Amino acid sequence: MGRTVTHASDAIKNAPPLAIWGAGPYRTRVTTETRRLLRSARTSLPLALGLFLVGLVTIAALSAPLVGPLFAPDPYAQVAPRDQTPPTPPDRDHPFGTDAMGRDLVSRVLFGARLSLVVAVGAQAIALALGLAIGAAAGWKGGIVDALAMRGADVLLALPAPLVALAVAAAVPEPESVPLLRALPIPAAGVVLLVLAGIGWAGIARLVRGEIRRLRAESYAGAARAAGAGPLRILGRHLLPNASGPILVTATLGLGGNILMEAWLSFLGVGARPPIPSWGTMIAESQMHFLQRPWAGLVPGIAILTAVLGFNLLGDALRDRLDPKLRSAPV
């Protein structure tokens, strides 16, 4: 009996996979293909949804001068019926209703999208430029340059960003009187933009510094140095392009945070001031009527949710696509 079991086990071990289970290699191929499809769906769906939401907000912002006048002459005009006390409910002429001052919510939400995107993108562009310059210099030079830059970033990252933004924005109660700010169309929004840029560069600089220190040890960086390439050429043509993946993800995620921070500062009254159409200001103006007439606050709140969720989904999807470790992780 023992000899029979031994011969049977040897036969099973030496048999081809199809003879054991009937679908050995085929089963392996199906499993691999299924995992690949599941991994692709896991990243494609957030990417598609994020692009859709971001595109929706962008189109709304760009179309504000064209679509807004269809519902109100401008976002400041009082269009509520005289026989009704605003905020008036949604109707045929005003699909989102009107706010507490009788102004059309569709027009104000569209122009609020323009303000939010301009502040978010402008602040992130400045923060990205500062972060790239400081982080690249710290990662390449090292020594005292690295120490000073990173200690400054550490101090800024250790501070609570919302409170810092609130304190700095509140310290400029009349931005129209500041020489550089009064040249802007909306000086109060310019204060918020500069505050967010001054806060956002630290995290980007630390990320860039780490990537540069890692990549400068690669063989192609050494080959470029041996060929006589200067530091700027090596950074611009070799190191920074190879570090673009995590930098792009961080910048995309930062856009959603900037939109949320701008709305929060405007809600507290230190960002865009009334009657400027800002999503945060619109929510603040609707507080007294939220229980009886909630649409005045829900409409700008949904707009903020849509924009922030879109940028967060887009950033997460880009991270999954660009990070080789996450791309090869099992489902």
Share of the chain above pLDDT 70, in %: 84
- pLDDT at site 312: 94
Tokens representing residue 76 in the block: 């400041």
Give tens-digit pLDDT for 248-281. Answer: 999 999 999 999 999 999 998 888 888 889 999 9
**Which residue type, as a one-letter code, is found at position 133?**
A
Confidence band (pLDDT; 50, 70, 90) for 230? confident
d(CA 79, CA 221): 64
In a domain, 267, yes or no: yes
Q: Would 13 be classed as within a structural domain? A: no
Show the DSSP H helices in the chain as ranges.
2-14, 17-21, 24-62, 64-67, 105-141, 143-158, 161-170, 187-215, 219-226, 231-234, 240-242, 244-268, 279-285, 295-322, 324-327
Q: What was the pLDDT predicted at 7?
A: 54
Residues 61, 56: Cα–Cα separation, whole Å: 9
Of 61, 131, 124, nearest to 303 by C-alpha is 61
pLDDT digits (tens, 9 = 90+) for 113-124: 999 999 999 999
Answer whether residue 18 is part of any domain: no
pLDDT digits (tens, 9 = 90+) for 309-329: 999 999 988 888 876 555 554
Domains identified in the chain, total number: 1
Specify whether the backbone of 238 is left (phi greater than 0), alpha (psi in -120 to 50) or beta: alpha
Does a structural domain hold residue 253? yes
Q: Say which residues have a Cβ less than 8 Å from residue 316's Cβ, sequence separation at least 6.
A: 46, 50, 253
Written as one string, the DSSP assignment of 110-174 is HHHHHHHHHHHHHHHHHHHHHHHHHHHHHHHH-HHHHHHHHHHHHHHHHS-HHHHHHHHHHT-S-
**Can you give the residue range of the structural domain that contains 269?**
51-67+96-327
Judged by phi (left if over 0) then psi (alpha if -120 to 50, else beta), residue 37 lies in alpha
| Cα first-last separation, the chain | 44
- For residue 11, being part of any structural domain is answered with no
Q: What is the C-alpha to C-alpha distance for residues 262 and 120, in angstroms, rounded to an integer? A: 8
Q: What is the pLDDT of residue 204?
A: 94
For residues 150 and 210, the answer to whether their CB atoms sit within 8 Å is no
In sequence order, what DSSP letters do the residues of 156-194 get, joined into one string? HHHS-HHHHHHHHHHT-S-GGGSTTTTTSSSHHHHHHHH
Q: What is the pLDDT of residue 35?
A: 59
80 lies in some domain: no
Task: Report the CATH number at residue 127.
Answer: 1.10.3720.10
Does residue 166 sit within a domain?
yes
Q: Are 303 and 278 in contact (CB under 8 A)?
A: no
Q: Is residue 17 part of a domain?
A: no
- 200 and 159 in contact (C-beta within 8 Å)? no
pLDDT for residue 31? 59
Single-letter amino acid code for the residue at 310: G
Is the pTM higher than 0.85? The answer reads no
Report whether 258 contacts 165 (CB < 8 A): no
